[in-house]
Amino acid sequence: MHHKFEQNAAIDPADPLVVVQAATQSPETTAILDYLDSYQAPHAGLIPVKTPDRLLLVKTATIILADIQQETLLLYTTTGTITTHETLRNFVRRLGDANFVQVSKHGVLNLNHLQSLEDSFSGNLTAILSEQIKTVVSRKYVKDLMGQLGL
- Confidence tier at 40 by pLDDT (50, 70, 90): low
Q: Look at residue 120 in the predicted model and tell me its pLDDT.
A: 83
DSSP 39-89: TT-S-TTEEEEE-SS-EEEEEGGGEEEEEEETTEEEEEETTEEEEE---HH
- Confidence tier at 43 by pLDDT (50, 70, 90): low
Q: Is the pLDDT of residue 83 over 80?
A: yes
Helical (H) or strand (E) element with 136: strand 134-137
Q: How far apart are CA 2 and CA 33, in angstroms?
A: 15
Find the mean pLDDT for residues 20-42.
Answer: 82
- Of 2-6, 55-59, 62-66, 89-93, the one with minimum mean pLDDT is 2-6
- Output the pTM of the full model: 0.71
Find the mean pLDDT for residues 75-86.
Answer: 96
Q: Residue 139's CB: how many other CB atoms inside 10 A?
A: 14
The percent of residues in the chain predicted with pLDDT above 70, rounded, is: 95
Q: Is the pLDDT of residue 78 over 90?
A: yes
Find the mean pLDDT for residues 39-51.
Answer: 77
